[in-house]
Amino acid sequence: MKPKFYDILISSTDEVFETMSFIDVTPQTLIEENIDIENVEITSIIALGGEIAGMLAIHTSRAFAHECAQFISGEETPNLPDQVLIDTIGEISNMIAGTFKRNVSAHVDLFEISLPSVITSQGHTLSFRGAKEDFPRLLIPFAIEEKTCFHLELLYHKR
Amino acid sequence: MSLHILIVDDSVIIRQVVKKVIKQAGIDAEKIYEAADGLEALDIIKKEHLDLVLSDINMPRMDGLQMLMHLRQIESKENLPVIVISTEGSEETVREAMELGATGYVLKPFSPEKLVDQLRPLGLVSAPPPQSEVDLSNPDAF
């Protein structure tokens, strides 16, 4: 059985990529076991407050951020400064959170979303360990032609 | 008619997309100003003659709704068209924006057509562009 919010999260993500970038990203199998995700270079976090309290995050690479920036802007640029890559992933996470908020409004009372906070590095490792029952975590890899390009994470307080 | 247009969004990439949609829609923009938040936008609004403002809501320092409220208090800007472009889609937020004097409301993510549809009633779009001309996936279109 799919966890709560799974379908809405997937459709919200699809809507953003289809409308803004035309990049065809496909959800892969939900990760439920303990896992380390290595070589993450950009993490964008949006805080969720209210009926759903928690966070939505995108974990990805500079290469994927670069691809998104090119598709969204419609300009082929071989080198983009980090600031543009940060801005692009921050805006994508903002649009996914906003779309998720709209799409989930039929099931959940109003909640607020923050502006994105973006962390960059030359490759950080994210360790996901034993989500607690009161704090469900949805960790979904997305791929382009079966190659994982980002992980989408929803972590919230089950009230 | 050469227009002066202000785009307000804290995202550089979104400002870039909006600029390109404006050009592709055949809008005769003589000058396009950019601001990253409501405070920057108000500075430009007070100093410059503008024909159109396209603004996000969720921005640091001053959000788009506060900016709109201040803008409408400036006597000469009472009728300046302001199109809101935002991820915020709750009835409450849309109603608040319209009550504060927004001319139109576009939800993010948006297609170029959605934005152009909001601009057309203002008489700013010279011709309905064919779909292919506003295809953001095609770098040559720009």
**What is the distance in angstroms between the Cα of A42 and the nearest Cα belonging to chain B?**
16
A52 within a domain of the structure (yes/no):
yes
The CATH code belonging to domain B3-127 is 3.40.50.2300
Please report the pLDDT score of residue A4 as a whole number: 87
pTM: 0.90
Domain with residue A43: its CATH number is: 3.40.1550.10
Q: Is the pLDDT of residue B137 over 70?
A: no
pLDDT tens, position by position, B95-135 = 999 999 999 999 999 999 999 999 988 887 775 654 544 44
Q: pLDDT in tens for each of the 159 residues of chain A? A: 788 899 999 999 999 999 988 899 999 999 999 999 999 999 999 999 988 899 999 999 999 999 999 999 888 888 999 999 999 999 999 999 999 999 998 888 768 899 999 999 999 999 998 767 788 999 999 999 999 999 999 999 877
Please report the pLDDT score of residue A51 as a whole number: 83
State the residue range of the domain holding A68: 6-114+140-156
How far from each other are the two terminal CA atoms of chain A, in whole angstroms? Answer: 20
Please report the pLDDT score of residue B141 as a whole number: 35
Please report the pLDDT score of residue A110 as a whole number: 66
CB contact under 8 A, B20 and A74: yes
Q: Mean pLDDT throughout B81-97?
A: 94
Please report the pLDDT score of residue A50 as a whole number: 86
Closest residue of chain A to B114, computed from CA coordinates: A19
Number of domains composing chain A: 1
Q: Where are the alpha helices (DSSP H) in chain A?
A: 6-20, 62-73, 82-104
A135 within a domain of the structure (yes/no):
no
User: Most A CBs within 10 Å: which of B7, B10, B11, as the mutation test of the A interface?
Assistant: B11
A97 within a domain of the structure (yes/no):
yes
- Bridge-partner residues for B38, per DSSP? none
Q: Please report residues of B whose CB lies closer than 8 A to that of A91.
A: 11, 13-14
* Cα angle A124-A126-A129, degrees, rounded to a multiple of 5: 160
CB contact under 8 A, A101 and B87: yes
Q: Smallest Cβ distance to A95: which of B60, B108, B139?
A: B108
Alpha-carbon distance of B122 to B125, in angstroms, equals 8
User: Domain residue spans in chain B?
Assistant: 3-127
Find out whether A112 and A105 touch, Cβ atoms under 8 Å: no
How far from each other are the two terminal CA atoms of chain B, in whole angstroms? Answer: 22
Q: Is the pLDDT of residue B92 over 80?
A: yes
pLDDT tens, position by position, B32-78 = 999 999 999 999 999 999 999 999 999 999 999 999 999 999 988 98
Q: For the beta carbon of residue A134, count every other beta carbon within 10 angstroms.
A: 9
Please report the pLDDT score of residue B129 as a whole number: 52
Q: Is the pLDDT of residue B86 over 80?
A: yes
A134 within a domain of the structure (yes/no):
no
A132 within a domain of the structure (yes/no):
no
For chain B, count helices (H), then strands (E). Answer: 5, 5
Closest residue of chain B to A103, computed from CA coordinates: B89
User: Measured over all CA atoms, what is the biggest interatomic distance in chain B, rounded to whole angstroms?
Assistant: 43
User: Most B CBs within 10 Å: which of A95, A103, A110, A118, as the mutation test of the B interface?
Assistant: A95
Q: Is the pLDDT of residue B139 over 60?
A: no
